[in-house]
Chain A
Amino acid sequence: MRIVPLALASIALIAAAAAGAAVTKVSGAKAAQVMHERHEGMENIGKAFKALHREFDASSPFVPTVRSSATQIANLSKSASGWFPAGTGPDAGKTGAKPEIWQNQQDFAAKLSAFQKAALVFNSAASGSDMSAAKARYADLGGTCKACHDKYRTEMHH
């Protein structure tokens, strides 16, 4: 059967493409810079998400806060593609990123991409007027954070 090796080759190709940014290994100052940027970025996503949590918990969410937080997360999620090059794991310094990220690159890339998609979907829902629909998309987004963090983030101690 010729189809099998062909299929395997395409899977490998897709996997390599999905792994994307993780292929190029970084070190030294570059690694430190990426890790810093990643930390700040994640923290800002967290802050925006906390603000959203409070708004959606309120009887009527304050729409401008919902929209600005949604946009901020959508923008940061795009940068996240460059946050996990090989060489930025725990060997390179203090980080919550587990080495498993670079051992399961395909799965990690899928989870990262699910997060990025959910961030865009939520952002467009938030720009509309139906805040209960936006809240549902926000919950989906939170699910993508958790799916990745449960598997690929260690418990951080500040």
Chain B
Amino acid sequence: MPRQVPDGDAPLSAPEGPKQPVWDLPVRLVHWLLACLITFSWWSVHNHHTDWHIWSGCAILTLLIFRLLWGFVGSSTARFSSFVRGPRVLAEYLRGSWSGIGHTPLGALSVLALFGALAVQVSLGLISEDEDGLYTGPLYRLVSTDTSDKARDLHELWFNVILGLVILHLAAIIFYRLRGRKLTKPMITGRAAIEPGSQPMRPGKWWAAIICLAIGIGVTRWIIAGAPPFSP
């Protein structure tokens, strides 16, 4: 009997039939923008462009806020309620008796870990200052110079956690690819053939996406301004 591959991650190309929407546009945009901005953040800080690095971090902050809100009001596969699941469902998935579209129970852990690690990284960056006192995160004045220095050291160390999660993410994509499951294309086109009987994606409202984005930009601008009235 051929090896059973658990049916799961939304972007199934294995099943036959017409392709159905599985990832909405905001989810895909956030994904690819994060991939670019994380790379750019790493590159800029290692090439004496600390100012660009800080702007890139602020852009990531906007995406994180947007994605958090979209996780409550977005399409069915974007919502936390559809992919944050307990250990029982995870066990089902690992046994191969889970099917559906969107993040698999295991993939969902990876998503949450990545977003959590990015939130930590951005928070550390906001209160950091560089070694020379030339550049500061927008909220550095909320803490002492010592704390800013420690935050910078941790910010540098924490990147390794993000790097580890990114490598795991890429390894998982290769792992599925070797088993005939293509995950990258659906993250570009948003569409994949889905299992018969699976619920297709219910899209979110475009105006809800606009509101989430406006809030994300608004909160980021407020933080860039030093989070008045809390900054001294």
With A150-B48, A155-B46 in contact, is A54–B132 under 8 Å at CB?
A: no
- Which residues of A lie under 8 Å from residue B141 when comparing CB positions? 54, 57
B153 touches A51 (CB 8 A): no
- Which residues of A lie under 8 Å from residue B129 when comparing CB positions? 50, 53
Q: Pick the residue among A53, A54, A57, A156 that contacts B131 (CB under 8 A).
A: A156
- Which residues of B lie under 8 Å from residue A54 when comparing CB positions? 141, 145
B232 touches A146 (CB 8 A): no
Report the minimal beta-carbon distance from B104 to chain A, rounded to whole angstroms: 38
Report the minimal beta-carbon distance from A60 to chain B, rounded to whole angstroms: 12
Number of inter-chain CB pairs below 8 Å: 38
With A54-B145, A57-B141, A158-B153 in contact, is A49–B48 under 8 Å at CB?
A: no
- Tell me the bound Cα distance from A13 to B12 in angstroms: 73
- Which residues of B lie under 8 Å from residue A121 when comparing CB positions? none
In the complex, whether A142 has a CB less than 8 A from a CB of chain B is yes
- Which residues of B lie under 8 Å from residue A98 when comparing CB positions? none
Chain A interface, number of residues (Cβ within 8 angstroms) = 19
- Which residues of B lie under 8 Å from residue A52 when comparing CB positions? 133
Chain A, Cβ-Cβ closest to B46: A155
Q: Pick the residue among B48, B131, B134, B145 that contacts A142 (CB under 8 A).
A: B134
In the complex, whether A15 has a CB less than 8 A from a CB of chain B is no
Indicate with 1 or 0, residue by residue over A103-139, a CB within 8 angstroms of chain B CB atoms: 0000000000000000000000000000000000000
A53 touches B48 (CB 8 A): no
A46 touches B131 (CB 8 A): yes
Indicate with 1 or 0, residue by residue over B122-135, a CB within 8 angstroms of chain A CB atoms: 00000001011110
Indicate with 1 or 0, residue by residue over A28-50, a CB within 8 angstroms of chain B CB atoms: 00000000000000000011011
A146 touches B48 (CB 8 A): yes
CB interface residues, A 51-70, toward B, < 8 Å: 51-54, 57-58
Chain B, Cβ-Cβ closest to A69: B133
In the complex, whether B136 has a CB less than 8 A from a CB of chain A is yes
Report the minimal beta-carbon distance from A139 to chain B, rounded to whole angstroms: 10
Indicate the member of B46, B131, B136, B148 with the most A CB atoms within 10 Å.
Answer: B131
B145 touches A50 (CB 8 A): yes
- Which residues of B lie under 8 Å from residue A50 when comparing CB positions? 129, 133, 145, 148
With A54-B141, A54-B145, A57-B141 in contact, is A49–B133 under 8 Å at CB?
A: yes
- Tell me the bound Cα distance from A155 to B133 in angstroms: 15
In the complex, whether A145 has a CB less than 8 A from a CB of chain B is yes
A145 touches B232 (CB 8 A): no
- Which residues of A lie under 8 Å from residue B145 when comparing CB positions? 47, 50-51, 54
Report the minimal beta-carbon distance from B52 to chain A, rounded to whole angstroms: 14
CB interface residues, B 103-155, toward A, < 8 Å: 129, 131-134, 136, 141, 145, 148, 153
Report the minimal beta-carbon distance from A97 to chain B, rounded to whole angstroms: 14
A146 touches B132 (CB 8 A): yes
User: Nearest 4 pairs between A and B by C-beta?
Assistant: A50-B133, A49-B133, A150-B48, A53-B133
A-B contact pairs, 15 of them (CB 8 A): A46-B131, A49-B133, A50-B133, A50-B145, A50-B148, A51-B145, A53-B134, A54-B141, A54-B145, A57-B136, A146-B134, A149-B132, A150-B48, A156-B131, A158-B153
Interface residues of B (CB under 8 A from A): 46, 48, 129, 131-134, 136, 141, 145, 148, 153, 156, 232
Interface residues of A (CB under 8 A from B): 46-47, 49-54, 57-58, 142, 145-146, 149-150, 155-158
